[in-house]
Structure 1
Amino acid sequence: MTTVRAPQGYRERPSSVGDAVIWCRDGISDADPPVLPDGCMDLLWIDGRLSVAGPDTRAYRPEPGFADRIAGVRLSPGAAPALLGVPARELRNARADLADLWSPADLRTASGLIARASNPAVGLEAIARWCAGRTDAIDPVVRFLVASLRSGSSVAAIAGELQTGPRRLHRISLAAFGYGPKTLGRVLRMQRALALARGGMGLADVAVASGYADQAHLTRDVREFSGMSPMKLLGSKLEPLSF
């Protein structure tokens, strides 16, 4: 069985805001694994600077030592554009300062919530709660799309269930996730596969359980998204970072 430990100094907990996760960590080392695509977007505090991590389609490798303290709110797929008012499509594979995305007034409010909080992670959660109080709930179509892709449904089957065309489904996905539904489905399938593998399941069985054609198909997908083979990625015995 693969023994899994979190990167040194990494902590996380569920948030009171939707399905978000609050996390923090102390710096980055060259032994840490890459940040893998997961369909999520993060609101970040990095050494006092507020920023947003957009949706990734490839591994992100921060330079060792680029920050001393990092905290984040990991928002579930489709949540960030509505909650934070940020453009998922324009932030694909990118990180942007919140000052470039929000009005000065909103940024002052967010900075005040951070300043009054007991720590940056608590402050970020307060910002997310403030945003949730002034925005509409996530579109039910977006929620259905995420849940269906997580369960392994095909894009064609989801379009049929929603009685919509593939082009409209693609437009919805670009706005909510930053990329199309097929890409999100592949990302979620890879994350599901890696979770099973970290739990001790063999890769051949993981491939079958996760909906891959075979282990070679699993390996190709993991390598495309992470730049590493499944064995090398799992051999680090580290949970992937977030942000």
Structure 2
Amino acid sequence: METEVVSAASGIGADFSLWSLFLRADPVVKTVMGILVISSIWSWAVIIDKSLTFGRLKSKSNKFEDQFWSGKPLDELYRKMRDRQDHPMARVFAAAMEEWSSSKGGASGALAVSARDRIDKILNVSVSRELEKAESNLGVLATVGSAAPFVGLLGTVWGIMNAFQAIALTKDTNLAVVAPGIAEALFATALGLLAAIPAVVGYNRYSSALNSYAVRLQGFADEFSAILSRQLDERAR
């Protein structure tokens, strides 16, 4: 490590571009920078994916609800949606309709109550399963947003240590001696913030979008359950 410090201190007139800072950095700082760059790319990939995903969910849910509340028979809608279950609301609807179709032969009394309970359980399980799918990879944004500043801080501390070692080895307090270590330390800090800030913003945004969609999906499931329950009561009379 001392050899690296001396070489850094000797490169007084070296290039201070970002790429040069990375190439001249200590191996520990390079590792920190690499982790932060990969984390930033990963978080941006999740952000873009979630933006497209929630946009599609909103559009397809709007279209499905228009069809659902159009007054057409549920059996007809189910036949149309059976092979096109490409969003959570359609899959929740199809899961309940499958149980509903198998319970059509049920008579009154206990059989109707049992069918209603089964439909409610299937709706709840389907909603939970679909929300779990929609939530996937949000944990990546939370992890990057909380950990990236501390990972960058590790690179910062290590770079400053290099700067002080350069002073000790060269016995020179000239700014040019400590500049390389300080520069790579600040570069690591900047990378940590660049990785963390978009991740935190993305996590907050898409957590809010997920909560809104969860309320919408659960509301649809409750309304659909009430419709099927009403039809079961009419059959039981």
Q: Rg bigger for which structure?
A: 2
**TM-score bracket for the superposition, by shorter chain length:** under 0.3
Name the structure where strand makes up a greater proportion of residues: 1
TM-score (ref. length: structure 1) = 0.18
